[in-house]
Amino acid sequence: MTGAAIEANGLGTTYGRKRGWALRGCSFRLPAGRICALVGPNGAGKSTLLSLAAGLLRPAEGSVRVLGTTPAEARTRLAHVAQDKPLYPQLTVADTLWAGAQLNPATWDRTAADRVAGPLPQDAKVRTLSGGQRTRLALALALGKRPELMLLDEPMADLDPLVRHQLMGVLMAEAAEHGTTIVMSSHILTELEGSCDYLLFVDGGRVRLGGESDDIVAAHALLTGQVRDLAPHTVVESRTTGRQLTALVRREGPVDDTAWEVTEPSLEELLLAHLRSPEAPPLLTPSARAHEEAAAA
């Protein structure tokens, strides 16, 4: 078994004393070398989770381990690009890349950074850049650091489809070449669906689905047929139209395909069904279970 890129156990943190929990009882494991989509609705706790893993926040309860150690210890080996792409506005593009070299003396790779930052106007001040250009520069710094784990918060939100495709290609090449683990968050799944082989679905401060995308999809079935009992399967969502029942279920044993018309749901259908049914139990595939949980199971 390969090591874990991220492992969270009962992780929780608050926004402040009054606003309650941003994340609570969060346990999962992300194996190293995966391209992981971190999806969930706005305010689900995606950014908080990434900030905790990057060591920008201290958990109020539980723990998170990154690359086998604490986030603080792993700082030189991980890159984090926050959602608002923070950069020093008064520095130029060239200065920012220079700062990247100064602040990551041990690992800085100029070529990797230039591969993404190349098309940017080198003498332009960061404050004059467009949203997309800022994203490009922020990603260039993350790549130049040559990390083992990249935590990218909404990396593609500001990019036009062409640039998105190009930068995704750079990221995938990086991952393929160096075995980098990449976590990308988004509230739009289709943005990431084609590139990611792992899925973490966060909603209401908890991880509700976690594991290989294929396994998660395979664990569910979309059933259509006459209204009747769906046991033993776990019903995520069901809809009746007249005597016709459409249900998205989590398979518990073989599905009787004489009684039902069985189709495989798309990942998007699966997530939407879970979003509409907050009471559906969480599902973590064995590789996504935190060690403490795995031992208990």
Partner 1 sequence: MSTLTALRGPARVVVRQHRKALWAALALLLTGIGSVIAMRVWIAVRSSDELCPDGDMTPCGGGTYLPTYARTSTETFLSEGGTAMVLFAALVGAFVAGPLIARELDSGTFKFAWAQSVSPTRWLVARLALPLVLATAGCAVLMPVYHWGRAFGSDYPYAHGLERYAEGVYPGTGPVLLGYVVLAVALGALCALLLRRTLLAASTTTLLFGLVFVVMTKVRYRLWPPVRLTGGARPEGAVWHVRSGMLTPSGKEVGTENCFTVDGFVDHVACMRHRGGVTQFVDYHPASHFWPLQLVETGIVLVLAALAVVVAFRVLRHRTA
Is 82 a residue that touches partner 1 (CB under 8 A)? yes
Q: Under rule CB under 8 A, how many of the chain's residues touch partner 1?
A: 38
State whether residue 104 is helix, strand or coil.
coil
Among 23, 57, 129, 267, binds partner 1 (CB under 8 A): 57
Smallest distance from partner 1 to CB 78, Å: 8
Nearer to partner 1, 134 or 233 (CB): 134
Which residue do the tokens 């208990």 mark? 296
The Cα-based distances of 201 to 70, 136, 251, 252, 282 in angstroms read: 23, 26, 19, 21, 10
Rounded distance between C-alpha atoms, residue 33 and residue 149, angstroms: 8
Rounded distance between C-alpha atoms, residue 153 and residue 206, angstroms: 17
Among 32, 56, 163, 175, binds partner 1 (CB under 8 A): 56
Nearer to partner 1, 139 or 280 (CB): 139
30 phi-psi bin (left φ>0, alpha ψ -120 to 50, beta other)? beta
Is 58 a residue that touches partner 1 (CB under 8 A)? yes
- By C-alpha distance, which of 193, 192, 210 is closest to 49? 210
By residue count, the chain amounts to 297
Residue 156 CB-half CA count within 13 A: 26
Is 59 a residue that touches partner 1 (CB under 8 A)? yes
* Residues 96-135 close enough to bind partner 1 by CB under 8 A: 98-100, 102-107
| Cβ–Cβ < 8 Å for 158, 132 | yes
Smallest distance from partner 1 to CB 30, Å: 18
Q: Which stretch binds partner 1 (CB under 8 A): 80-88, 232-240, 251-259, 262-270?
A: 80-88
Nearer to partner 1, 25 or 55 (CB): 55
* Residues 129-148 close enough to bind partner 1 by CB under 8 A: 138, 141-142, 145
Which residues of this protein are in contact with partner 1, per CB under 8 A? 51-52, 54-59, 70-72, 75-76, 79-82, 84, 86-91, 95, 98-100, 102-107, 138, 141-142, 145
